[in-house]
Amino acid sequence: MNKPLRRIAIFCGLLVLTLLIRDNWLQYVKADSLKDDQNNRRVTIARYSTPRGDIIVDGSPVTGSDENKRNGLNDLKYKRTYKNGPMWAPVTGYASQAFGANQLESIEDGILTGNDDRLFFRNTLDMITGKPRQGGNVVTTLNAAAQKAAYNGLKGRGKGAVVALEPSTGKILALASFPSYDPSAFAGNSNDDAAAWKKLQKKYNPDDPMLNRALRETYPPGSTFKVVTAAAALENGLYSSADQKTKTPLPWTMPGTTTELKNEGNIPCEDATMRIALRYSCNTVFGKIGSDLGNDKMLAEAKKFGFDAEQFTPVRSSASVFSDNMNPSQTALSSIGQYNTAATPLQMAMVASAVANNGKLMKPYMVDKLQSSTLDTIAQTDPEELSQPLSSENAQILQSMMETVVKDGTGKNAQISGVTVGGKTGTAQHGVANSENPYAWFISYAKVSDGSTPVAVAVVVEDQHANRGDISGGGLAAPIAKSVMEAVIDSKK
């Protein structure tokens, strides 16, 4: 072979080799990323070529699928539907042909579309028998009656959120956010869907209905945080009982300042016991406890309850905040739920749940199990202990204090006949120099006659239309918590 032909042959061989390498790179190395690429139209077509599996609550689906009306421009056969969409949106999220998916619809997309590797044998059998691929189901831990009570309680209150947990397991029983949205409104890819989506964006809707306030919004928790401060006092041996007098003068000036920490009204806070201080919500007592313990001990206790860490339920919850490197007066303010302290409703439900569960905090979760299309269980969530914020003995002391709040204090609106209820109210400052209507909080748990505690609840209400003087945790939030607790208790009968 002469030299020019040899060069051409070598060059052609290199081209062939390059093509083979490129082909193998695409088929084996880049296959998964190309398969999951949002711009891969074939993936989208395949995702909506069959009905999605369902998200299940109390044995019934809260989702569905409808066949699109074919119009030549729409090659996506099925679109998602939702039952009581606004009520369940904080749990399900959305699945939209035009705008993708989020929350459970996104996290469990493989199961719902039938593409998850764990469905391989089911899919192989269907292929052999000629059946179309079918999606599996996501079975949640939610309690339909509790969710309805939570959502209806928030209606007409402006904005807010409710989270209810089963203390012994961490199961999420209710997860409501208001205002909300209907995921069905933009499940397709038409001009109407695009218009509905636009109306829901914060840029065009300042109420931000697509914000999951139960998991993603952090609020100053106000006096509900005093439960964490009381736990820190007991765990660190500052006080050993609920009825031991605290060394709290009145007035009390915050260390390093000339500023007195004020209480709300003329209440008996001088040297008050922790029981009395929690009953009347004494800022001076719990501010001084935080200052006396110091930032490090308060931070350590807050972290045991879950602060400063994201939670995955499996939907991500924002991290609640208790700051580091604070001076004694800043620590005092943070210890009564102000200054930099901020918490999600999920976080404060976790606080109530840990106290109710004799000091043991269980990891919160909302997916009980995953099923194949034939209802075979392919994954089951087992309860998992997250931490032990306080000992059983100290938890029972704190329970007695919270039960006093509901029996004789600011939480009377949460009383339930024949049920022992423990709780703590909170009214947290909002806006620059507390210029806007404050947030109304209530955290609680219910203990039934057999000694079990089926539910712990956190409620926060942002009512911008209420008279400022009428806003209180006991007045606005406690009745909602009561209705949620009653719904859970009634569903157990």
Closest listed residue to residue 53, CA positions, set 374, 315, 378: 374
What SS3 state is found at 322? coil
Cis ω before 314 (30° cut-off from 0)? yes
Q: What's the structural domain count of the chain?
A: 1
For the record, the structure tokens of 110 come out as 């493989």
State the Cα–Cα distance between residues 398 and 422, nearest whole angstrom. 9
CATH number at residue 274: 3.40.710.10
Read off the amino acid at residue 488.
V
% of residues, the chain, pLDDT over 70: 89
Phi-psi region of 191 (alpha: psi -120 to 50; beta: other; left: phi over 0): alpha
Contact of 355 with 304, CB cutoff 8 Å = no
Which pLDDT score is estimated for 493?
77
Residue 208 placed within a domain: no
**Is the pLDDT reported for residue 215 higher than 60?**
yes
Residue 53 placed within a domain: no
Phi first, then psi: give them for residue 105, nearest 5 degrees: -60, -30
Which pLDDT score is estimated for 125?
64
The residue-averaged pLDDT of 58-67 equals 94
* Partners of residue 442 on adjacent β-strands: 425, 459
Neighbouring residues of 170: CB distance < 8 A, sequence distance ≥ 6: 353, 362, 363, 364, 365, 383, 384, 386
Task: Tell me, rounded to whole angstroms, the distance of Cα 302 from its chain centroid.
Answer: 18
Contact of 154 with 461, CB cutoff 8 Å = yes
When comparing pLDDT for 391 and 1, which is higher? Answer: 391
Lowest mean pLDDT: which of 68-72, 83-87, 361-365, 405-409? 68-72
Which pLDDT score is estimated for 287?
98
**Tokens 């000992």 map to which residue?**
391
Query: What are the pLDDT digits (tens) for 262-289?
Result: 998 899 999 999 999 999 999 999 999 9
The residue-averaged pLDDT of 222-229 equals 97
State the Cα–Cα distance between residues 24 and 26, nearest whole angstrom. 5
Binning pLDDT at 50, 70 and 90, where does residue 337 land? very high
Residue 417 placed within a domain: yes
Residue 422 placed within a domain: yes
Q: Is 223 a catalytic residue?
A: yes
Choose the catalytic residue: 96, 223, 320, 334: 223
For the record, the structure tokens of 125 come out as 């059998």
CA atoms within 13 A on the CB side of 81: 9
Burial 133-154 (b: 16+ CB within 10 A, else e): bbbbbbbbbbbbbbbbbbbebb
The DSSP call for residue 40 is -
**Computed from CA positions of residues 70, 71, 72, 78, in that sequence, does the dihedral angle turn out positive or negative?**
negative
Query: What are the pLDDT digits (tens) for 176-205?
Result: 999 999 999 999 999 999 999 999 999 999
Which pLDDT score is estimated for 435?
45
Which pLDDT score is estimated for 122?
67
State the Cα–Cα distance between residues 323 and 409, nearest whole angstrom. 30
Residue 109 placed within a domain: no
Which pLDDT score is estimated for 35?
60
Helix or strand (DSSP H, E) at 8: helix 3-24
State the Cα–Cα distance between residues 113 and 339, nearest whole angstrom. 46
Binning pLDDT at 50, 70 and 90, where does residue 3 land? confident
State the Cα–Cα distance between residues 306 and 389, nearest whole angstrom. 9
% of residues, the chain, pLDDT over 90: 74
Full residue range of the structural domain in which residue 305 is found: 222-367+387-492
Q: Which of 9-13, 27-31, 346-350 has the highest mean predicted lDDT (pLDDT)? A: 346-350
Phi first, then psi: give them for residue 219, nearest 5 degrees: -120, 155
3-state helix, strand, coil in the chain (%, to 5): 40, 20, 40
When comparing pLDDT for 29 and 399, which is higher? Answer: 399
Query: What are the pLDDT digits (tens) for 18-50?
Result: 887 777 776 666 666 656 666 666 767 767 778
Which pLDDT score is estimated for 432?
41
Helix or strand (DSSP H, E) at 316: strand 316-317
Residue 65 placed within a domain: no
What SS3 state is found at 377? strand
What SS3 state is found at 16? helix
Residue 42 placed within a domain: no
Question: How confident is the prediction for the chain on average, in pLDDT?
Answer: 90
Residue 287 placed within a domain: yes
